[in-house]
Structure 1
Amino acid sequence: MRKITIIGAGQAGLHLGIGLLAKGFDVTLVSNRSAADIAAGKVMSSQSMYDMAIGYERELGLTLWDEHCPPIEGVHMRAGTRDGATMVDWRSRMRANGQSVDQRIKMPAWMDLFQRKGGRLVVEEAGIAEIEGYAERSDLVLVATGKGELGRLFERDAERSVFDHPMRTISLTYVHGMKPREDFSALNISINPGIGEYVNFPALTHTGPCDIINLECIEGGPMDRWSEVSTPAEHLALATELIHEFFPWEAPRCAQLRLTDDNGILVGRVTPTVRKPVGTLPSGRRVLGMADVLVLNDPITGQGSNNAAKCVKVYLDAILEHGARTFDADWMSETFERYWDYAQWVTRFTNTHLLPPPPQVLKVFAACGENPRLAARVANAFDDPKGLAPWYYDPVEADRFIESFAVATA
């Protein structure tokens, strides 16, 4: 029985670990926190997920909250200014519902499932020395967390990394009391050009159905005031103030907000980065990174957990196809390139939204407001951003794309 060790018990590590157990591997999973620590800790992400990624979870029996998690049924995108004037306003249902399950619920449940299926869970802070030991005893070591010295194992890929600093200050706020939409539940995206973005969707947390608000604040801009905040109450007050000031069309839904819990808040910054996949330990042994250890995007387009699930699908298939052969550096690089064939489009999609919107994107968004079929195509791209190419990035192709829908509906 081949032995595989995974460092990191998040969305990617646990998903892959459970998948490998189902295929007969001997799997050790190393986490720097226990299930109880995770459940009692702060929120870790917003983790909206869509049909393709949820399907990969469902194949392994990991969607344990389908009956309780409120659905994300569509997309509503708006762009406007603080005076309430809107330049873009379109909405569409998606072909299948998305969902967001608080990782403080999800990860402990998956850790329990992993152990019940025969996996070995080790709770320790694994550094280079510990990974050396696992590499000596395992056929393959995968690194699914980039915290501390582990992140330095994987070299930044300068050719594939567009940014070298954070583009946003990001705040997450888990709330109850948001007024429901009148049509369908949605991934709500509002853009105030040059200021920042408001992203909201329904979710499930410890205290039941809730809403998550992600405020993406351009660094140094008028929304970037999170250094003023020191308590959960102040966090909620500032989030509410910023919504009323910069996204007034969303304010009526946010009049009665209250925190789900004092740990339902997070503020941070992310430098979008692509890293090379193979890490070399001091002994010369090789380890393979995965998911956001290698492809880290800003959460503005909500792709992080989706990327993780899709990376797991690629890696699991590659491991199974490899049989009894050695997991050498060439195999590691080839496996990552299979994942990058998809992930590059997510990175391009996300990076586009961190810069001033190019004319062709604004043109497509405006056309979405006039053509429901076009709007549905763009809405479903959150499930598979690869489908945005080439028209999302090329003015000529954007015109052809818009025209194709006009002809189809004539």
Structure 2
Amino acid sequence: MRKILVVGAGQAGLQLALSLQGRGYEVTVMSNRTPDEIRAGRVMSTQVMFDQALQHERDAGLDCWESQAPPIEAIGVSVAAPDPATGAAGEFPERAVDWLGSLDAYAQSVDQRVKMAGWMEMFAARGGQLVIHGAAVSDLDFFAGKYDLVLVAAGKGELVSMFARDAARSPYDSPQRALAVSYVHGLAPRSDEPDVEAVRCNLVPGVGELFVMPCLTTSGRCDILFWEGLPGGPLDVFQGVSDPNEHLATTLELMERYTPWEYARATNVELTDEQGTLAGRYAPTVRHPVGHLPGGGAALGVADVVVANDPITGQGSNSASKCAATYLAAIVERGDLPFDEQWMRETFDHYWATARHVTKWTNAMLAPPPEHVLTLLGAGMRHQEVADRIANGFNDPADFEDFFYEPRAAERYLASLERGSVPRA
């Protein structure tokens, strides 16, 4: 029986550990927190997962909350109209773009406090070895000789330093957004659209983005209010805010100023719990997949450890799930052969074939949108097909290659619609 160590108890680490456990591998998971500590701790992410990623969970029998989490059936996009005098977003702006694209299959968001605590308990109940210990490089150096494979799935802390930045694939060397999350109860439906569960993407040019999304949390159904602000801009005001109620009040003040159509349904919201806020920032980075240990051993980086994208496109948990599925297939296919460095690099390359589309799309969305992208977004108001296609790109970002990045490709796509489609009423 092959022995595998997974360091990190997030989406990728636990999905992979449980999947390997189900195939007869002897798996150890190292986590710096117990399930109870995770469940009672601070929210960790926004984690909307689309159908491809959810299917990996279903395949592994890990879709434990699918019947409870709200089914997200659409993606809404709104773009605030700039101030005619300054060209920048002003107070109480109108919307230059506003549409709702339907998903071919629903998405879902489950608070990672719920999911990771539950998965850890499942792993232990099935006989897995769960070690509660904050791992350092020296720990991995010790364990490397005792396991056939060491997987590092802890995307923060000292262990990430083992994996060198891939400058060719990392155009940014500093954070591109300041992030602020609030989990709330009491958000009303949008009064100007069908009452469907949807992720709302609100773009405020020159300022940042507000995402609103339904979620299942420790206290049941909730909504997430998620600001992404340009560093140094008017949304970059959450550093040093430690009081959760002040964090929410600031979130709502910014909504009232920049996205009043969303603020109108948020006047009665309250935090789900005292741990329901999060703020921070990080530089989107791709790293080399093999980490070298002082004693000569090697570890393979997983998910955010090697490909950390900004959450502006909502792909973090999706990419983690897809990475875990790719690595699982490679491990099983390897049989009894050694997990050497060449295999590690080839395994990462298989994952990168998918992840590169996410990184390209995410980095494009962090930059000011070019004219042809604004034209595409505007076309979603005339053609439901455009709105639906952009919405379903969240599930399969590879599709953006065909129409999103190059002006001529966008022009050809829109021209084909004008010739052969009936615009929406």
TM-score (norm 1): 0.98
Q: Distance in 1 between matches of 2:123 and 2:415?
A: 50
1:125 aligns with 2:125: no
Counterpart position of 2:85: none
Counterpart position of 2:63: 63
Q: Which amino acid aligns with 1:223?
A: L
Counterpart position of 1:136: 145
Q: Which amino acid aligns with 2:174?
A: H
From 329, 333, 349, the counterpart of 1:321: 333
Counterpart position of 1:401: 413
From 169, 179, 186, the counterpart of 1:170: 179
1:88-147 Cα deviation digits (max 9, x unpaired)? 112111011111111111111101111122211110011111111221100000000132
Q: Distance in 1 between matches of 2:333 and 2:145?
A: 23
Counterpart position of 1:42: 42
Q: Distance in 1 between matches of 2:407 and 2:292?
A: 43
Q: Distance in 2 between matches of 1:126 and 1:288?
A: 15
| Segment drifting more, 8-17 vs 357-366 | 357-366
Counterpart position of 1:216: 228
Q: Which amino acid aligns with 1:348?
A: K
- Give how far 1:220 is off: 0.5
Counterpart position of 1:205: 217
From 148, 159, 168, the counterpart of 1:159: 168
1:100 aligns with 2:109: yes
Q: Which amino acid aligns with 2:6?
A: I
CA contact under 8 A between 1:11 and 1:107: conserved in structure 2?
A: yes
Q: Distance in 1 between matches of 2:136 and 2:401?
A: 40
Q: Please give the secondary structure, in 2, of the residue aligned with 1:292.
A: helix
CA contact under 8 A between 1:301 and 1:350: conserved in structure 2?
A: yes
Q: Distance in 1 between matches of 2:118 and 2:163?
A: 30
Q: Distance in 2 between matches of 1:401 and 1:329?
A: 43
Q: Distance in 2 between matches of 1:15 and 1:250?
A: 35
- Give how far 1:228 is off: 5.7
From 373, 376, 390, the counterpart of 2:385: 373
From 247, 263, 288, the counterpart of 1:276: 288
From 340, 358, 375, the counterpart of 1:346: 358
CA contact under 8 A between 1:84 and 1:249: conserved in structure 2?
A: no
Q: Distance in 2 between matches of 1:31 and 1:66?
A: 25
Q: Distance in 1 between matches of 2:315 and 2:332?
A: 26
Q: Can you give the 5+ residue segments of structure 1 that lack an aligned partner in the other structure?
A: none
Q: Distance in 1 between matches of 2:365 and 2:44?
A: 22
- Give how far 1:148 is off: 2.1
CA contact under 8 A between 1:270 and 1:297: conserved in structure 2?
A: no
CA contact under 8 A between 2:34 and 2:132: conserved in structure 1?
A: yes
Counterpart position of 2:3: 3
Which consecutive aligned stretches of 4+ in structure 1 deviate over 6 angstroms post-superposition? none
- Give how far 1:83 is off: 3.3
1:258-313 Cα deviation digits (max 9, x unpaired)? 00001000000011000000000001111100100000011111100000000011
TM-score (norm 2): 0.95
Q: Distance in 2 between matches of 1:247 and 1:358?
A: 22
Q: Report the identity percentage.
A: 47
Q: Which amino acid aligns with 1:75?
A: I
Q: Which amino acid aligns with 1:111?
A: M
From 386, 390, 399, the counterpart of 2:402: 390
CA contact under 8 A between 1:5 and 1:141: conserved in structure 2?
A: yes
Q: Distance in 2 between matches of 1:228 and 1:142?
A: 34
Q: Please give the secondary structure, in 1, of the residue aligned with 2:402.
A: coil
Counterpart position of 1:179: 188
1:190 aligns with 2:196: no
Q: Can you give the 5+ residue segments of structure 2 that lack an aligned partner in the other structure?
A: 81-88
Q: Distance in 1 between matches of 2:229 and 2:104?
A: 30
Q: Which amino acid aligns with 2:62?
A: L
C-alpha RMSD over aligned residues: 1.1
Q: Which amino acid aligns with 1:160?
A: R
Q: Distance in 2 between matches of 1:31 and 1:91?
A: 40
CA contact under 8 A between 1:31 and 1:125: conserved in structure 2?
A: yes
Q: Please give the secondary structure, in 1, of the residue aligned with 2:99.
A: strand
1:61-101 Cα deviation digits (max 9, x unpaired)? 11111221112110100111433222211211101111111
CA contact under 8 A between 2:239 and 2:280: conserved in structure 1?
A: no
1:358 aligns with 2:370: yes
1:348-384 Cα deviation digits (max 9, x unpaired)? 1111111101112111111111111121111100011
Counterpart position of 1:21: 21
